[in-house]
Every structure is written in C-alpha cells, then in structure tokens.
Amino acid sequence: MNRLLITAIVLFLMVSCKTEKANEVDVSAVDITLSVNRFEKKFYEADETTLPIIKNEFPYLFPEQNDSIWLNKIKDKEERELYQKSQEVFGDFENEKTQIIELFKHVKHYHSNFETPKIITLITNLDYQNKIVYADSLLFVSLDMYLGKDSEVYHDFPVYLSQNFEKSQLVVDMASAISDRYFTTDKGRQFLDLVVGAGKRMYMIDSYLPAVSDAKKIGYSDAEYEWATANEAQIWKYFIENKVLYSTDSKLVDRFMAEAPFSKFYIDIDKESPGRIGVWLGWQIVQSYMNNNEVTLQQLLQTNAEEIFNKSKYKPKK
C-alpha cells in the first residue's frame, strides 16, 4: 500500500514538473551576437564639435533641425537629470545584455527567420507609450522608462503604470514588442476572440522568457497575481453568467483588456482586482489548451480562438 502511495506521489510530481516547465527548452546551441549602441551616452556627452559625427552615425534619430536645437537639448536640465539617473541605474548594461541574449536565443529557437536586431539605448523624455520600439533591424530602448517605480521622476504617473517602470521589466517589454512581429490578430470580434488572442500573446512571451515570473510577464505585482489566481473561479463564473464570452460589446475591451488600475466587473470586487483581467484569463485558457494538446507554438498561432477554447478543457480551480 505504501509503495503504491509513493508511486502515485512520484507520478504526480513528474506531471506537475512537466506542466510547470512546459516552456523550457535547451537554447545553449543557439548562436546570438548582440550589438548594443549606447546612443544616450554619445549624445549627452557631445558638444558642437562631436555632434555632427553622432548625427552621421544615427541619421534616423535626427529630423531636420538646426544644430542649436540639439545642443540646447543636450544641455536641458531635466533631460540631463534623466540621463544621469539612467547611467546610475544601468551602468555598463552588462546584466541586461545577458538577459537579452537569452531572450533572443529563445525567439530564434521558435522563429528560425528571426534576425537579431541592433539595440539602441536612448532617453525619450518619459515617453511611456514607446518604451520599446522594434523597427526592422533596430530595437530602441528608452532607459528613462525603467529607473524604478519609486523614482521621483514618475510622481505624475498613476501607480498602475509606474509599477512597471522597473529595469527588470525591460526584457519583458522587449519580448512583447517582438511577439507583435509574429502574431496575427484573429478576425473574430467576439470577446472570446480577443481574450484568447491576448492569451496567445502571453503564451509567446511565456515561451520567450521561461525564467521570468508570471507576474512580471503580465505586468502584475505579486499581490495582483495572487488575487487573480485566488479568484479565478469567481472571474470565470462572472463571465459565464453574464454571457460575456460571445458578446461583441466594444466596451468590454476597456473594462477587461486595457491598461487600467482595476478591471470593471461593476461589483464590489472591482477595486481589489488588477486591470487586464481578460488578458490574464485568456492566458490561462491558452495554457490549458497547450497542456492538453500536442501542439507547437507555431501551430497555436495558426489556430482560431473557438477551437482553442473548445479543446482547452479549461476549468478553473475551485
């Protein structure tokens, strides 16, 4: 009897480990050469003599303007403060390079046609909507958007945004930007299509960054992620009872998918919930689908939302 019990426990642990590490792959043989160009260091240390050289090196960063405009920008007090803080936070950028190489190796593993972009670091005057820009062979990184959530430069931002202005979030935002290149939006306009589509995107990020915590991947605090996990059954019950999944009401995007301080169920749990709970739910559905079907990431991306949902056997824990 004891032997049977031990065997059952071992089998359970093996299955648990398999599910938990489903996205882990060996990328040690993937060859990546990383190029990082610290534009912000060159620019804010430039003068009227060296500025023309920098303009020649980075023509895509200099729209046609008189050099006096750029020289005034270099001397601007607020911009120089952002520059100095970014140097204090990131230093030689070596730790970030290691993380980026691992990210690129995973992306290359899943997408053989992935060409490693050149990284250009810069300061963008707190342009939070363009923290990471992936453009052809270049990937622009706004260092001033990753100085730490408690930095005084973010005091005008709402907490639900500034909580992700951490340098540990930089590689997650990179993964998200890269996933855009390989993701095709489903044509369906039901809420289920949007939820599962968001879940696919999250599963891509999950696959690219297996060593990063789930909370960081979706941009939740640990407390927010724990709330979502603890209330999964109640969230699902709400969506089913209110016939939300097959609705085409565009307001559902703002309520459950958009960046926000909380999700809008219009019940007493609203203020406790994190925003984007529909994205989190879609991720759970897609994870369930991948755990219950022998499917590659590429096949997942080509499968429609209805089929994913029907074959996911998704059932939230009570």
Q: What angle do CA 152, 272, 261 make, to 5 degrees?
A: 45
Q: In 3-state terms, what secondary structure has residue 118?
A: strand
Tell me the CA end-to-end span of the chain in Å, nearest whole number: 30
208-242 burial by CB neighbour count: b if 16+ within 10 A, else e?
Answer: bbeebebbbbbbbbeebbebbeebbeebbebbeee
pLDDT at 260: 97
Question: pLDDT (tens digit, 9 = 90+) per residue, 239-261?
Answer: 999 999 999 999 999 999 999 99
Lowest mean pLDDT among 14-23, 104-113, 247-256, 291-300: 14-23
Q: How confident is the model at residue 317 (pLDDT cuts 50, 70, 90)?
A: confident
pLDDT at position 119 over 80? yes
Q: How far is CA 2 from the centre of its chain?
A: 46
pLDDT 10s digits, 212-243: 999 999 999 999 999 999 999 999 999 999 99
Q: Where along the chain do its domains lie?
A: 36-158, 191-312
Q: Which ranges constitute the DSSP H helices of 91-184?
A: 94-110, 159-162, 170-182
Distance CA 221, CA 231 (A): 15
